[in-house]
Amino acid sequence: MFADVAAKASVPCAVACLAACTTFSDTIQSTERGLAQQQPKTALAAYEKVKPPPQDLVLYLMNKGMLLRMSGDYAESTRTLEEAKSHIQALRALSLREQALSITVNDATKSFIGEDYERVMVNNYLALNYLEGGQLDAARVEALQVDLLLREKAQKTTVVTPYAEDAFARYLTGIVYEDEREWSDAMIAYRKAYEAYKKQLKSFSVAMPETLKHDLIRLADRMGLAEEAGRYREEFKIEQTLSEAELLERGEIILTVHAGLAPIKRERATTVPNPATGRILRIALPQYRSRAQPFVYANLSVDSSSAKTSRVENVDAIAVKTLDAEMPLITARAVARMAAKDTVAAAAGSGSSGGNSSASTTAALLGLAVNVAGVLTERADTRSWFTLPGEIHLARLPLSPGEYKLKVELHGRDERVLDSSEIKVTLRKGEKKYLSRHWIPTNLEVKP
Amino acid sequence: MKRAVSLNAGVALLALAALSACATKVERLDTSTAVDLSGGWNDTDSRAVSQEMIQDSLSRAWLQEFRGRPGQARPAVIVGEVRNLSHEHINVNTFTLDLERALINSGKVDFVATKQERLGIRDERKDQDLNARQDTRNAMGKELGADFMLTGTINTIVDPNGNQQLLFYQVNMTLISLADNRKVWVGQKDIRKLVTRSKLRF
């Protein structure tokens, strides 16, 4: 009798307790507010108040590194992202303890090392930090590391996944090699980027960037690959483009725009009482919710020259498709966990139907406690690098050596100007200057 | 009663042992002891490469040839740019300083301050010109010009397979005559490492 009452009472009790528990995505609202107000320093201050548990250290460093970059502190951002990278390296070995916890408690007990695309993004942003700080050789180190990471990933992967390559990482690598005047390596990287953009068009809806089309022709010409250059000219319908020699006589502005925020992971949970046993069953799964993205393109202009950005990376689509590909495994683990927790709760309350009323009550209470504990700990792993942009755009503008006041205009739909700013640069002959602009909309609503 | 006391003492000892295991432990090592933690480029590599390369360089013909010139005793050398073209962020400064140390300590060459250091020294000389006593002033324009410049690159080839990585470091150094751009010595030092990463952790 008591056992029945306890079981019925447990449902609202567990639901109330669950409301009090928080997932990672609940803890970042004040940081998001700061970002939406275009105040990265405020967002950083809010985020630094988060005390990450040991298993979330890498995630904390990734977000902090990005917020520092947005705040303009490139040196500290680099130090933080390098720290994240070294922790990732140490945590890549399998932990049996964490595996056991993920099967018995929840997936968020595992140390976060990020998805493949997030780990590649650490290298990408470090490379951009170095490039913007004028440390070309250090950016080249990141280019080599990203190549190693993608090679290791290709060796490990036995099934075809949507994120098999990182087109933007390959493209950025090509730019670094070209700046180093390592023409053959640049050509190889541009080719890899070309292949990746072609393959991923369907999955991530990122068309071949306009700049890459010109880069391929220019490098193929420089390498004396007339047939290949002719093929690109025909495919892209481009007759004339600046030659490498002409480009070296000028300087070049390379602008990256990091727009919006990556999708946020939310929990999608179902809690139901099992009428046959009276125990509660709960399953919690992660789900990405995309953010609003009003940004369409940016225009970089000075005097009579201008360049329009092309989308080079759709982080939003990569994140969503990566999680989609992993969902069968995550779901299987959640179902196994639910069954395991229910079996333990059943075993704990197994004496409740016996003759001795005192022992029966104790067993029922124990069963209830185990059941409630199992339900309370069933939370989805909603950790993700939420400060990544939703999209990355890139423009290349060759200019004669000199001093310039560049105008960067961000455009939304219907050509609406979202933001406008001016940057002063001095460009030397043959020099490439790397600039970036982070822009986050005021309204960070998630798409339903 | 006696048993309870000994039990308590045992528990206390165990707790103490557990706590001491958590404390930060520092072990001082001899700088010549090779310790490999991550498998990456470390102080041992930097020191070994710089010493071997300089020894090789000083035993070659260019030094004798220079000394054989009339009025030339010891060549003045400067360390130029050593570029890190490897897949690791290597602190090139420590490697450059190791090279400088090995060169100076050889006693066979004179060593000239780097470009950056020279700027600081020139500032000091300007300051002396204004503020130092006349008999202690060092005049401008009496610097020792370098005869040779040492430049180099650090390259790597990485061959990963599962939890193993074959790391191949190649350090190339070139000594160039500043008088006529002649390469008087080219040295190369290779390091191969097989790094096996643990598949399991706690």
The 10s digit of each residue's pLDDT in A241-264 is 999 999 999 999 999 999 999 999
Q: How confident is the model at residue B178 (pLDDT cuts 50, 70, 90)?
A: very high
- Kindly indicate whether the ipTM for this predicted assembly is greater than 0.85, answering yes or no: no
In-domain check, residue B22: no
CB-based contact A97 B202, cutoff 8 Å: yes
The 10s digit of each residue's pLDDT in A52-107 is 889 999 999 999 999 999 999 999 999 999 999 999 988 887 778 888 887 778 88
Task: Give the end of a domain, one of A249, A281, A312.
Answer: A249
In-domain check, residue A446: no
Backbone angles phi, psi at B81, to 5 degrees: -85, 130
Q: Which residues in chain A touch residue B198, judged by CB atoms under 8 angstroms apart?
A: 93
Do A269 and A333 sit in the same domain of this protein? Answer: yes
Q: Is A362 on the interface with B (CB under 8 A)?
A: no
The 10s digit of each residue's pLDDT in A277-310 is 888 888 899 999 999 899 999 999 998 899 999 9
Q: Which domain holds residue A428?
A: 2-208+250-439
Report the pLDDT value the prediction gives residue A16, as an integer from 0 to 100: 46
The 10s digit of each residue's pLDDT in A235-246 is 999 988 999 999
Count of the separate structural domains present in chain A: 2
Residue A12 scores a pLDDT above 90: no
Residue A14 scores a pLDDT above 70: no
- Which CATH number is B58's domain given? 3.40.50.10610
In-domain check, residue A448: no
In-domain check, residue B174: yes
Between A and B, how many residue pairs show a Cβ–Cβ distance under 8 A?
Answer: 42
Nearest CA in chain A to B160: A152
Distance CA A340, CA B198 (A): 30
Report the pLDDT value the prediction gives residue A178, as an integer from 0 to 100: 97
Do A222 and A113 sit in the same domain of this protein? Answer: no
Distance CA A125, CA A139 (A): 10
Q: Which domain holds residue B106?
A: 39-115+144-196
Residue B165 scores a pLDDT above 90: no
CB-based contact A155 B89, cutoff 8 Å: no
Do A215 and A109 sit in the same domain of this protein? Answer: no
Mean pLDDT computed over B41-47? 87
Do A160 and A229 sit in the same domain of this protein? Answer: no
Task: Give the end of a domain, one of A192, A217, A249.
Answer: A249
The 10s digit of each residue's pLDDT in A355-409 is 567 777 888 888 888 888 888 888 888 899 999 999 999 999 999 999 999 999 9
Distance CA A22, CA A326 (A): 23
Do A186 and A264 sit in the same domain of this protein? Answer: yes
A410 near A257, Cβ under 8 Å?
yes
Which of A122, A141, A155 would you mutate first to test chain B, the one with the most B CBs within 10 A? A141
* SS3 (DSSP) at B172: strand
Mean pLDDT computed over A152-176? 87
Report the pLDDT value the prediction gives residue A23, as an integer from 0 to 100: 56
Residue A15 scores a pLDDT above 50: no
Residue B170 scores a pLDDT above 70: yes
Do A113 and A241 sit in the same domain of this protein? Answer: no
In-domain check, residue A444: no
